[in-house]
A = this chain, B = another copy of it.
Amino acid sequence: MSVVVVGSVALDSVETPFGKMVDAIGGSATYFSIAGCRFSDINLVGIVGSDFPKLGLELFKSKKINIDGLEIVEGKTFRWGGRYKQNMNERDTIFTELNVFEKFQPKLPDLYKNSDIIFLGNIHPELQLDVLEQMNNKPLVILDTMNLWIELSREKLIEVINKSDVIIINEDEVRQLMGNSDVYKSANKMLNTLNPKILIIKKGKNGAILYHNDKMFILPSYPIDEVIDPTGAGDSFAGGFVAYLDSLNKKNLTFTDYKMAMVNGTIMASFLVESFSIHRLERVTDTEIQNRTKSLIDLISI
């Protein structure tokens, strides 16, 4: 089994109360892949400029992440700069330089087209639709999005939502999409009007909520004493979540499968936030993952 992920591969410059880093490897597809490769085979689709560090490409290869679908073109890589406030809950975007990402036209290598699961990272809904059409079989479609597309491309976004099996969205985004100030009300409105089969609301350090048919599951985040940099937490959650599902190698995924996928996603995000960029996440051992997974299950069990 394998997962296709399409999203950004970027160079991030981030400032938090703990320090500052410049041009570190980031982007939604990167965080997703580095988390997901612990569970399953990842086929990455993205674009970088000729300035993208060799070390980055080697990192993907060393993790056995397939980057046949990562286009390398003349020019500069997508860059994002942000600054977190003291409480780490809010951040300001300092700059966004799309660079080569502006011309991104995802092309799936033939090998990718038979994957069983596809994760549509937070790129333009037009591109997400375009990627979907390139798949041969009918994969499980898992969708992420962001405030920008809710604002600028609402109709297209709803078109992608209609073609997706699982929607992953954060609490601000679901409120924005549904025009309601309450998370639960917004989620219910989304379930009733857009009819996703499975909906996941990410609440950052306050955990995540899963809606599966008529049922709900609420999971807290794993307690971390010192969050160093939350950039990419949502994407590494998605990576752990999706790739864990893929690793089950099942046609009919159950409510419990999705719950356990949330646990695995939560654990991957918990490692991600313990350092800048992917430094901690890429080094975490299988034993550390297993121990923390067991520990989270203990933490929520009566």
Using a CB–CB cutoff of 8 Å, the interface residues on chain A facing chain B are 86-87, 181-182, 184-185, 188, 203, 206-207, 209, 216-220, 223-227, 256, 259-260, 263, 297, 299-300, 302
Contacts of A223 in B (CB 8 A): 184, 209, 216, 218
Distance between Cα atoms of A217 and B300 in the complex (Å):
6
Q: Which of B86, B181, B182, B260 contacts A302 (CB 8 A)?
A: B260
- Which 8 pairs, one residue from A and one from B, show the smallest C-beta to C-beta distance? A218-B220, A206-B206, A259-B302, A184-B223, A184-B225, A218-B299, A185-B225, A216-B299
Q: Which of B209, B217, B220, B226 contacts A185 (CB 8 A)?
A: B226
Shortest CB distance A201–B (Å): 11
> Do B181 and A87 touch (CB < 8 A)?
yes
User: 9 additional contacts, CB 8 Å, given A207-B220, A218-B299, A297-B302?
Assistant: A86-B181, A182-B225, A182-B227, A184-B225, A185-B225, A217-B302, A218-B220, A220-B220, A300-B300
Contacts of A256 in B (CB 8 A): 302
Contacts of A207 in B (CB 8 A): 206, 220
Contacts of A86 in B (CB 8 A): 181
Chosen A-B contacts, 30 in total, with CB atoms closer than 8 Å, are A86-B181, A87-B181, A182-B225, A182-B226, A182-B227, A184-B223, A184-B224, A184-B225, A185-B225, A203-B206, A206-B206, A206-B207, A207-B220, A216-B223, A216-B299, A217-B299, A217-B302, A218-B220, A218-B223, A218-B299, A218-B300, A219-B220, A219-B300, A220-B220, A256-B302, A259-B302, A263-B302, A297-B302, A300-B300, A300-B302
Contacts of A87 in B (CB 8 A): 181
Contacts of A206 in B (CB 8 A): 203, 206-207
Contacts of A224 in B (CB 8 A): 184
Residue from A226, A297, A302 having most chain B Cβ neighbours under 10 A = A302
Shortest CB distance A187–B (Å): 9
Contacts of A226 in B (CB 8 A): 182, 185
Contacts of A219 in B (CB 8 A): 220, 300
Contacts of A225 in B (CB 8 A): 182, 184-185, 188
Q: Which B residue's beta carbon lies closest to that of A216?
A: B299
Distance between Cα atoms of A188 and B182 in the complex (Å):
32
Q: Which B residue's beta carbon lies closest to that of A175?
A: B87
Shortest CB distance A302–B (Å): 5
Q: Which B residue's beta carbon lies closest to that of A221?
A: B218
Distance between Cα atoms of A39 and B184 in the complex (Å):
29
Contacts of A259 in B (CB 8 A): 302
